[in-house]
Structure 1
Amino acid sequence: MTDRPDPPTSGPEAVQLRAWLDFHRQTLKQKAAGLTQEELARPLAPSTLTLGGLLKHMALVEDNWFSVVLLGREDAAPWQGVDWEGDPDWEFRTAADDSPEVLLGLLDDAIAASDRILDKIGDDLDTVAKVASRHTGQPFDLRWILIHMIEEYARHNGHADLIRESVDGATGA
């Protein structure tokens, strides 16, 4: 398993939010560490959710929130051209075809791209996203996006705990 940073117990808001995001990013990678392609593709019934699907999903989520929503950019590869209406679970479904190296590489690349964006913005949590909420029409600020990303990882890390335990019995962290 890989090392996971402990978030600081005090300090500036932006530093703490990014530290908690890094903590949860590393937790997901820890849950997938050392597994084969077949193990990453194994669901925990009755769900079809897999660790590989979670890795690919979070790579998509990283790219979508930081690049597409925050900066207004187009989807990056491999998300370009996906028929999301015809196959809304594409990233979950296709993850079984990807090796652990490909899945972890997608996530690592997405995280690195997100971190470059965050480093460029700095501590300005009031930065407003280029794309507004499709539900409210209101813009997101960076603070909201960071909190949402922490929540997204934390929720999926709970799924990852159960799936990993069903695969090989590994528990904890």
Structure 2
Amino acid sequence: NLHLHVIPKWSKLTDITEANTDFRYSFSAYEIELAKARTKYEQVLNNVARGLFYKHLYKNLTINDQYLPSYFIKTTVLWMCEECHIDRYVDTTDDEDTISLKLGQIWINYTCHLLRTRYCPHYFIFNMNLLENYPTELLDKSCSILQNAQLENWNSGISTTRNGLF
């Protein structure tokens, strides 16, 4: 029996005088169930995406007091697990390092496509674009940072540059 929660939280998109009436939806219960159903490679994708996000983007890049929220990364992983058939990108003979690096590059490409098009549909709410209220400069710089990021194997700590991979 899964539930949707309403959390009081000011979105900063409204005037401060409305902060006490602002709220957000929490889909945590649904997200946990979806995470439990992930394949091994989808779990690796999630780890790599989170690692890249927290190392390179999370609050490191702020424009007009805005930064990409972690929910954007969670959403990219949810969509990729649904749409991209992650397992097909991994060869059964690949070692953990190669798997992490491949999935990292695939995530960067997917995420940069969303950032460039300025459109990332919410996973649970129809007709909602997670990126519509973010400055173009923030989205462009986020993509640039990801494209130039050092890809790492988040399992073993081995790293290589993006250009040396593909």
Between Structure 1 and Structure 2, the one with more helix by share is 1
Kindly indicate whether structure 1 or structure 2 has the higher relative contact order, using CA contacts under 8 Å at least 6 residues apart: 1
TM-score higher than 0.5 here? no
- TM-score norm. by structure 2 comes to 0.28
